[in-house]
Amino acid sequence: MRDTLSNRAIAAALAASIALPAMIAPALAEDFKGKTLVVGVWGGDIERLLRQNVVGPLEAETGAKVELVLGGTGDRLARIYAEKANPTMDIAFLNIYEAPQALKDGVVEAPDPKSPLYTEIWDGMNNGCYAMSLVGLGIAYNKKLVSSPPEWADMWKPEYKGKIAVAAYPGSEGDGLLGVAARLAGKDEHDADAAFAKVGELKPIALTYTNLDEAFAMMDAGEVAMAPMISGYVLAALKTHPDIGFSFPKSPGPVLVRDMLCLVKNSPNPELAKKFAELALGVKNQTDYAEQLYFGPTNKNVKLPESVSADVIDTPEEVKGLLQMDWPYVITQRSDWTQRWNKEVLGQ
Amino acid sequence: MNGPSSKAVLFLLPAVALSTVVFLLPFGWLVYASFKVQGQGSLLMADGLSVANYMRLVTDSYFAAALWRTVWLSAVSTLLCLVIGLPVARLIATGSGRAKGLLLALMLVPLVCGALLPSLGMIHLLGSLGVVNGTLKMLGLIGGSIKLLGTTGGVILGMVQAFLPLMVLPLVNTLSRLPRDVEAAAASLGASPIRVWRRVILPLAMPGIVAGAVLVFCAGFTAFVTPQVLGQGKIATFGTVAYQQAALVLDWPFASTLAVVVLVAIGLTLILSAQFDRLTKRRRALA
């Protein structure tokens, strides 16, 4: 009897000794060991900040691995659509115009209005997915060729003919330019004929750029005077390009562009994905985004120093001054507009 | 008779199985997808089959123009490869020792390093701020940059660079099998070197020329990286349009349609070249 008791006691003690550390240490560490969270995101500075503020802490806390799949949004949008029945990606960072479409097609989770992720973000921003950062389409310009910060209409002045660069289409820069051009013609993006006619007046396009370095090199060489560009990276890059400036035009205002964080529907690691999202949308990461990349925060709790705040879209009031396009409509036009852009802007 | 052929079938089985899994099945799916369309306001395929994509391809002149552009870009590249490749192939075929090995190795470099790396390198050569423009500006020959990237000329240059080995290798193969005394005989009968080339070498090299031309043409027709990188989005070929539709617009059914058209065109090219080959063989047999 005593033997059995002591055996039992030993067994209990053994069980406790195994279970206790697991209970004391974060229970999660055991749950997520061996799991890999797959995140589709842009490379460069964004990757650097995410590794530092999100991937590192998340891996330390959970024991899981985080794999960042770098590239443009088209790559990951294609991937989550192709894998709809059997997703392997957990989080995809998308553009504002892609997120609502992805939600409509059921490839991403709808933002949960009750989650802290949702409530910490400004009202009206979580459109399709969770809003990650705010930037505006403005004009990068060569200060030697353009004397003062230009307005949109200045791009159409005869002295700059053949010296305007545009980003590769489809993309938010091109769509934003179409929206602006349509408004300059007294219409809006719903009138594609007006938009394309106006953008077509910019021909010949000096350069279709796929990366900023390419565009800045041409701008520094004086072969490009102006290019519609999205604030953020551009502002961060200006430090090394003293002859290039960036203008937030007034009429119409800069086009609001939002990066969205999307939780892929039926993804393999939904809990890990939520933890990633909390860190990514959290105050620390969004503050670094603003201070280092000039990406405006969407988290209500982020407080920025005055000097940073000036270059960053960081208040709901500021957002009101921006040009908000009908992105869900724009994406339904993507196929047609791509073809029209090829034909009418690039002259193919 | 039965023995060897059934053995041959056995040997072919792994290859057939592999190509069924990795080529025929996906290709079948591609053909199927080309008859689908996306739902209204959706990027997902809708139910039902339709020929809408093919109608769009036929009725929209943009795609006909891209098709035509792709054909002539490939044709011009093929011609240039032939003109540049013939002397090189002849040098390799008749050369000996280290020079021959070196030339052959140089010829193979573009094949080994793929399309992307040389194309990216050429950006630095041809770009507005690249080596060519920089040199011309330094010499005071031009004021502003001349456009080399984003032009058909630039794309052709890139394609010729990339696909030259596809022309040279079959040519070397046929040219090195030509008996040298045939040329000597022609020359001793008073044929000038040009005449020897025209009447003796070229006709005998025809199988190599056809093989090389077909390879270069098909490679050019399906090329994506070179026109995409060197064309800078301004030169729409079938490859770049299909990429745009598949990866950027995400209209996969329509992209599938474009791919099917490319594959059919290549199939036709191969059939034509086989016919041509048979014709020349028959003519030679008659002569």
Per-residue pLDDT reduced to its tens digit, A218-264: 899 888 999 999 988 788 888 899 999 999 999 899 999 889 999 99
Answer whether B250 sits within 8 Å of A74, measured CB to CB. yes
Pick from B42, B145, B247: which is nearest to A223 by CB? B145
Q: Can you tell me which residue has the tokens 């990514």?
A: A280
More confident residue, A130 or B60: A130
The helix (run of H) or strand (run of E) holding residue A297 is strand A296-297
* Alpha-carbon torsion (B106, B112, B117, B122), positive or negative: positive
Instruction: Check: CB of residue B192 under 8 Å from CB of residue B207.
Output: no
Answer whether B251 sits within 8 Å of A335, measured CB to CB. yes
Compute the distance between CA of residue A57 and CA of residue A55 in angstroms, rounded to an integer.
Answer: 6
* CA-closest candidate to residue A74, choices B32, B254, B251: B251
CB-based burial of residue A29 (10 Å sphere; 0-12 exposed, 13-18 middle, 19+ buried)? middle
Answer whether A81 sits within 8 Å of B250, measured CB to CB. yes
* CA-closest candidate to residue A308, choices A289, A321, A322, A324: A289
Instruction: Check: CB of residue A142 under 8 Å from CB of residue A225.
Output: yes
The stretch B139-145 carries a mean pLDDT of 82
| pLDDT tens track for B143-174 | 777 888 888 999 999 999 999 999 999 999 99
Chain B residue whose CA is closest to A208: B232
Pick from B234, B244, B250: which is nearest to A77 by CB? B250
> Strands A36-41 and A65-70, how do they pair?
parallel
Instruction: Return the CA Rg of chain B.
Output: 23
Residues of B engaging A, defined by a Cβ cutoff of 8 Å = 41-44, 60, 62, 65-66, 128-129, 144-145, 150, 232-236, 244-251, 254
Which of B42, B234, B238 to probe the A interface (max A CBs under 10 A)? B234
Retrieve residue A120's tokens. 């910490």
Chain B residue whose CA is closest to A205: B234
Which of B29, B56, B119, B128 to probe the A interface (max A CBs under 10 A)? B128
pLDDT for residue B1: 47
> Strands A207-209 and A165-167, how do they pair?
parallel
Cβ under 8 Å to B: A residues 192-221: 207-208, 210, 217-218, 221
The helix (run of H) or strand (run of E) holding residue A41 is strand A36-41
Report the predicted TM-score, pTM, of the whole model to 2 decimal places: 0.78
Q: What are the start-end ranges of the H helices in chain A?
A: 2-24, 27-32, 45-50, 56-62, 73-82, 99-104, 116-119, 172-184, 192-200, 212-220, 233-237, 270-280, 283-288, 306-311, 316-320, 327-332, 334-340
Of all residues in chain B, what percent carry a pLDDT higher than 70?
Answer: 98
* Sequence-ordered list of residues with C-beta below 8 angstroms from that of A49, at least 6 positions apart, any chain: A285, A288, A289, A292, A293
Phi and psi, residue B147, nearest 5°: -80, 120
Chain A residue whose CA is closest to B145: A223
The pLDDT-based confidence of B278 (bands split at 50, 70, 90) is confident
Answer whether B245 sits within 8 Å of A335, measured CB to CB. yes
Answer whether B65 sits within 8 Å of A105, measured CB to CB. no
Phi and psi, residue A281, nearest 5°: -90, 0
Shortest CA gap A151–chain B (Å) = 27
